[in-house]
Amino acid sequence: MAEDPFDQVAFLGFDVFGTVVDWRSSVSRWAEPFLKRHGIRVDPHQFADEWRALYQPAMERVRSGQRPWVKLDILNRENLETVLSRHGADVRQIPQAELAEMNLAWERLDPWPDSVAGLTRLKRRFAIGPISNGHMAGMMNLARFGGLPWDIIVGAEVARSYKPQPETYLGSAAAVGLPPERIAMVAAHNEDLTAARALGFRTIFVRRPREHGPDQTTDLEPRSRWDVIVGSLLEVADALGCV
């Protein structure tokens, strides 16, 4: 009988935005009444895409040392104001409380239909938690909103670095008290898994072909021979023998 490569794995770390939750549909749903209320003429899905498009450039300024460490909710809020201004809104005229409420959309994202059931099954064999670029309070609120049954929250804020920097993965491993080889990274993004595998993590690729909407062109297929390649978190549970 072939050796199970996950026999020694004790913790599954999850990318969250796109892998576990559907950020695009959710953000657009929260944005639609906000945009209408303020007369901002932009399609809510386009608005969500533009807001998300600023995510990586904002984190890169932190990763590169151009600015000190700040949590993702601060970057998201800055990016929100940038996108609103791009579409002609005077953010000085929008009440601060409304901007803060809109920014909370990232803590109110719907799980993919398979996510909660898949995580619940995986939790029977493994400890589970996000290794996400999200801040800890945001991850806690998102878990409560969507019923995500995490054991622990690690990731960017624990390590004070953003993926795919090695410190984010290694700091998370240290926080759960395990060496990298006893952790598997679960993600819908090849870059995330490439970085994790380089440090000794096991890897699980989950196809999410509609993360960026019907015209998605990225991460449609695995770019490497990851340890597990599946189409849902329920299929991850099947593959790892979690009934």
94-146 pLDDT, tens per residue?
999 999 999 999 999 999 999 999 999 999 999 999 999 999 999 999 999 99
Instruction: Tell the burial category of 67 from Cβ atoms under 10 Å away from its Cβ (0-12, 13-18, 19+).
Output: exposed
Contacts for 36 with CB less than 8 Å, ≥ 6 apart: none
What percent of the chain has a predicted confidence (pLDDT) above 70?
99
For residues 18 and 22, give the distance between their C-alpha atoms in angstroms, rounded to a whole number.
6
Domains of the chain: 11-20+112-239 (3.40.50.1000), 24-107 (1.10.150.240)
Q: What is the pLDDT at residue 102?
A: 98
In this predicted model, what pLDDT tens digit does every residue of 23-66 receive, in sequence order? 999 999 999 999 999 999 999 999 999 999 999 999 999 999 99
Identify which of 192, 148, 160 has the alpha carbon closest to the alpha carbon of residue 65.
160
Mean pLDDT of the chain: 97
Q: How confident is the model at residue 2 (pLDDT cuts 50, 70, 90)?
A: low
Query: Which pLDDT score is estimated for 51?
Result: 98
